[in-house]
Structure 1
């Protein structure tokens, strides 16, 4: 018996040793492949540098190789060279040294697009439409937006002279600007809406969003709000910790909000609420859309999984990956995906599987049929693999094609500039309304400018005609095609009238922004916000609100939807 045990132990030990040997061989092979391929890459570059017919630029060539390698992973893993670190810091901290203004390209020159309130550009009187001519005597003609942006940014406290050309002013204007620390607000707007409903727009999770959010919420509490709307639409995310901190304002201490899992144990972490909430009972709705991603999905997903708020809108983006920055030689940095995150129900909202690509290298969303059912704390069904599906889905309105072209051709921007020259003052942001005469003037401006825009109906009709000709149907259908072409004929005046509501709304926001900055523009936009109205109505209907958070109601609604289908 003793010999048998010794023999068994020896066999087991042999298996362990064999396993370790195989593991060692595997690691050695991987290390060999790494060394081999780095050596090949190094040799290829040396050969190119010595013998290629034209001169090779080392930085550009190697950067191309790095970017191609990272592109094969996911769009969030990126290399930042020392000269690009400002962009990374802006992404993480939400701040930079500059003048506090958005700039854009207009009629071949870089112009001021939107100065931020209480920041150097606005305080010194720079206005949208101002053409940037010179910085410290350096001519900006031919410079790109990125190049001019780099010249405007710099060390905090440094000064420069900016020369601009302004519409309606004969001579160029000069401004002496001092660069300041520009902190882009995470909460650009909050207010009390109808029926004592608080509204907070949270546009980012970079900088200090939790502090800004808390200040806004406490200010609204003092004004007597009895319910709250958190607007996360088009919030692309940011810092995970900040999302947890905001969730903690409404959820009990000790609740797990999110946990992460990566290849290495150091990336496995659990994030829980650490203190008592400010208000654990106030009814909350959260507005989301397909631009809500990352930290936005953590906050919205935690509220949904813990049945703390009703999510309203369209399905979110579906980014369930976590990035970490790693310092590199020569002042650079690598932002790389190190983990996936999971919200309280245990689901991961990642919508795209970058690991399993198609043969052509493309990737697609995880189909709904392959997602897994999870359950909220109350037992409601929720799914993984495709973002956060709202509790109350609202069909997203499609942007009219003509509006897209009016924006990129800066026709609305141009009209707003003209309007401001003619109107030194306007009513408050809440009271301002574009008149019929104003819109008529806009239409005339667009018509005179030889404005061109692509219409999808023309493309579809052209493709249909080609298919009909190929399949031999054109002879019998030629008259019908002629009639359809006549019906779909290009008519700018008709399209400007047909989509006037959407166009007027955008023109109004662009005009108001010039007098009352970003807050004014948001005020104007919310006047025609159907999702906001639905959120307010829901918060003022406790029975429906509580019903959406109960599993029985959720099952009943799923049954009704199935019957309709």
Structure 2
């Protein structure tokens, strides 16, 4: 009888522990399944009208806002979209000065930019004005290649950090089309994203002058992921830094403004080029 009692005392905690684990697993599986069905359940059974897709987007956006204010989720529109081709405007300011203006820093901008710069540069050209006012875009590879056209050797153009990968360095890799000579970059508060990588590299190496107002402070690589062919979630994946180590994106947690300050402050609304 005593042995039977001991047997029960040993196995009773084991049985209880097994029951707790089983309940915990069941509870967790129910909890993890709720978000997948919650919105549809509300739409189908709630007395108050509910649109599950809109509610799902609102909830997920609130979650993403806790991660980074640049994260977002949008509904995929399958209607045909008007694609505006990027272009590079080039003109002569005078006999020794040329002006270049890319409309955006996108995937196919580098080849167009290099073509225009190559056609414009000659031994008599002494000054290049690169207008990045209002120029946005998220193709950082193109931005790095454009900056490379103005920097010599293997100078560091930018580096990027992520909690998921080691630090990535981006350096000049080939002889540029305009490594010497006067260079001016026109910037404003709408100079954003990949354009800021160009600005930071030129300023850090004192290769040229930044003229205008402070840039936007939005140099952040984002990736887009499609969910259930209905939604597209945009998540920041890399932060970019100047060769001097300055963070190019504004710090939302510390409420800092970010951006790159010009060497010469000019209000272009009241000044001509």
The two structures have a TM-score, normalised by structure 1, of 0.40
Structure 1 pair 256–531 and aligned structure 2 pair: CA distance change class (3 A): farther
Task: Within 5 Å, give how 1:139-150 maps onto structure 2.
Answer: 150=79
Q: Which has the larger radius of gyration?
A: 1
Residue 390 of structure 1 is matched in structure 2 by 262
SS at match of 1:304: helix
Instruction: Name the one with the larger helix percent.
Output: 1
Query: Does the CA contact (< 8 Å) of 1:253 and 1:277 recur in 2?
Result: no
* Inter-partner Cα distance in structure 2 for 1:390 and 1:38: 50
Of 108, 130, 142, 1:208 maps to 108
Say whether 1:365 aligns with 2:106. Answer: no
Cα deviation code 1:297-326 (max 9, x no counterpart): 110110000111111111111123221233
Task: Within 5 Å, give how 1:448-527 maps onto structure 2.
Answer: none
Say whether 1:229 aligns with 2:129. Answer: yes
Of 73, 77, 95, 1:79 maps to 73
* Inter-partner Cα distance in structure 2 for 1:306 and 1:350: 19
* Inter-partner Cα distance in structure 2 for 1:273 and 1:51: 60
* Inter-partner Cα distance in structure 2 for 1:279 and 1:209: 17
Q: CA deviation at 1:207?
A: 3.4
* Inter-partner Cα distance in structure 2 for 1:253 and 1:333: 40
Task: Within 5 Å, give how 1:424-435 maps onto structure 2.
Answer: none
* Inter-partner Cα distance in structure 1 for 2:175 and 2:136: 28
Q: CA deviation at 1:365?
A: 3.1
CA RMSD in angstroms comes to 3.0
Residue 61 of structure 1 is matched in structure 2 by 55
* Inter-partner Cα distance in structure 2 for 1:203 and 1:75: 26
Structure 1 pair 52–183 and aligned structure 2 pair: CA distance change class (3 A): closer
Query: Does the CA contact (< 8 Å) of 2:194 and 2:219 recur in 1?
Result: no
* Inter-partner Cα distance in structure 1 for 2:138 and 2:39: 37
Residue 163 of structure 2 is matched in structure 1 by 263
Residue 220 of structure 2 is matched in structure 1 by 321
Unaligned 5+ segments in structure 1 are 1-33, 85-149, 155-180, 357-363, 367-385, 398-528, 533-565
SS at match of 1:64: helix
Q: CA deviation at 1:270?
A: 1.4
Residue 241 of structure 1 is matched in structure 2 by 141
Q: CA deviation at 1:531?
A: 4.8
* Inter-partner Cα distance in structure 1 for 2:29 and 2:187: 47
Query: Does the CA contact (< 8 Å) of 2:121 and 2:177 recur in 1?
Result: no
Of 212, 235, 238, 1:339 maps to 238
Q: CA deviation at 1:345?
A: 0.8
Say whether 1:530 aligns with 2:249. Answer: no
Instruction: Name the one with the larger strand percent.
Output: 2
Of 85, 90, 114, 1:184 maps to 85
Structure number with greater CO (CA < 8 Å, separation at least 6) is 2
Structure 1 pair 278–296 and aligned structure 2 pair: CA distance change class (3 A): same
Name the stretch that deviates more: 41-50 or 199-208. Answer: 41-50
SS at match of 1:330: coil
Residue 300 of structure 1 is matched in structure 2 by 199
The two structures have a TM-score, normalised by structure 2, of 0.78
Residue 15 of structure 1 is matched in structure 2 by none
Structure 1 pair 392–184 and aligned structure 2 pair: CA distance change class (3 A): same
* Inter-partner Cα distance in structure 1 for 2:94 and 2:199: 23
Structure 1 pair 46–292 and aligned structure 2 pair: CA distance change class (3 A): closer
Q: CA deviation at 1:262?
A: 0.8
Unaligned 5+ segments in structure 2 are 1-27
Say whether 1:250 aligns with 2:150. Answer: yes
Query: Does the CA contact (< 8 Å) of 2:222 and 2:236 recur in 1?
Result: yes
Query: Does the CA contact (< 8 Å) of 1:186 and 1:207 recur in 2?
Result: no
* Inter-partner Cα distance in structure 1 for 2:63 and 2:31: 13
Q: CA deviation at 1:233?
A: 0.4
Q: CA deviation at 1:186?
A: 3.4
Residue 199 of structure 1 is matched in structure 2 by 99
SS at match of 1:326: strand
Residue 25 of structure 2 is matched in structure 1 by none
Structure 1 pair 35–335 and aligned structure 2 pair: CA distance change class (3 A): farther
